[in-house]
Amino acid sequence: MKAGKQAKKESMVLREVSTGTEKIMILVLTILALIFIMPIAVVVMNSFKGKLYISSAPFELPTAETFAGLENYMNGIAKTGLPSAFGYSVFITVCSVLVIVIFTSMTAWYITRVKTWWTKMLYFMFAFAMIVPFQMVMFPMSKIVNMLGLDNPIGIIIVYLGFGAGLSVFMFCGFVKAVPMEMEEAAMIDGCNAIQIFFRIVFPILKPTAITVAILNAMWIWNDYLLPYLLLGTDYMTIPIAIQYLQGGYGSIDMGAMMAMLVLAMIPIIIFYLTCQKYIIKGVAAGAVKG
């Protein structure tokens, strides 16, 4: 009886401690969420203010005096040529993500299934690529890209494939190890070749990781400024480059138009992320733990 009561008391204490820890974690995470959301809220709020009031009262809600309606959005669209920049950004992002997902998943499948010394070396090279800073390679890369004629919206897709391959191959390799070999062997007996086995058997199973890789790369490519600026310049301006050109001479900036364009630039990627966010944890856990 005494042992049972003691165990019951210990269970109640552990439950109280667990509840207290959960409350503290919820409080900490709520504070962190507010800290991260605050800059976005400030940008949205200031996008509806007159540009003279953004600097003088950046953290105040728009009032009847400071409210500018959609004037900032109209000015921003007119000054940046947003429809053209939006088109280039969508084309580069969608095509780059598709190329990265397809080619890196095939590479990871080959590396995982073909056990040779050079496939292991190839895997370590992809893993090493994740830790090489972009600043270390940007100048020689720009020179090579110009020499090969890849300084255009199609050529930059190949460059993004190179930079996105490291993390993507690493994640896919972890998941491919969990795909049963028996399924591939059965497909081979039924007469499927390697391409058919991959796209009919393996790739559908890789869906969680493929969506995770697509989300991570889409967010990176959509918001990337430096690589398109180095390779494309002003000939094919993406949204980040177009927004940067709102800064005039001698440091003058149309803050109202810039805030409005930042809001428009955030909306597509936020919608994409919220639509696919449920796959992120599933795909990361599968690619990092399994195998």
Give the residue-averaged pLDDT of 83-98: 91
Judgement on whether residues 145 and 247 belong to the same structural domain of the protein? yes
pLDDT given at position 95: 94
Judgement on whether residues 39 and 76 belong to the same structural domain of the protein? no
How many domains is the chain partitioned into structurally? 2
56 in a structural domain: no
Judgement on whether residues 36 and 169 belong to the same structural domain of the protein? no
Farthest CA pair distance, the chain: 84
Judgement on whether residues 130 and 247 belong to the same structural domain of the protein? yes
39 in a structural domain: yes
How confident is the prediction for the chain on average, in pLDDT?
Answer: 81
62 in a structural domain: no
Give the angle subtended at the CA of 76 by the CAs of 72 and 80, to the nearest 5°.
175
Give the residue-averaged pLDDT of 265-281: 78
Please, which pLDDT band fits residue 288 given cuts at 50, 70 and 90?
very low
Give the residue-averaged pLDDT of 125-149: 84
Please, which pLDDT band fits residue 104 given cuts at 50, 70 and 90?
very high
Which has more confidence, 190 or 86? 86
Judgement on whether residues 168 and 81 belong to the same structural domain of the protein? yes
Judgement on whether residues 127 and 170 belong to the same structural domain of the protein? yes
Judgement on whether residues 77 and 207 belong to the same structural domain of the protein? yes
pLDDT given at position 221: 92
Minimum mean pLDDT range among 63-77, 79-93, 247-261: 247-261
Structural domain boundaries enclosing 123: 71-289
pLDDT given at position 96: 94
Q: Residue 205 is part of a domain; what is its CATH number?
A: 1.10.3720.10
Strand partners for 67: 49
Strand partners for 253: 247
Distance CA 172, CA 239 (A): 30
10 in a structural domain: yes
For the cut 80, the answer to whether the pLDDT of residue 40 exceeds it is yes
Is the full-model pTM beyond 0.85?
no
Judgement on whether residues 137 and 224 belong to the same structural domain of the protein? yes
Distances in Å between the Cα of 132 and the Cα atoms of 47, 103, 125, 126, 213 are 37, 21, 11, 10, 19
CA end-to-end span of the chain, whole Å? 47
- Radius of gyration of the CA atoms of the chain, in A: 25
CB-based contact 67:45 (threshold 8 Å): no
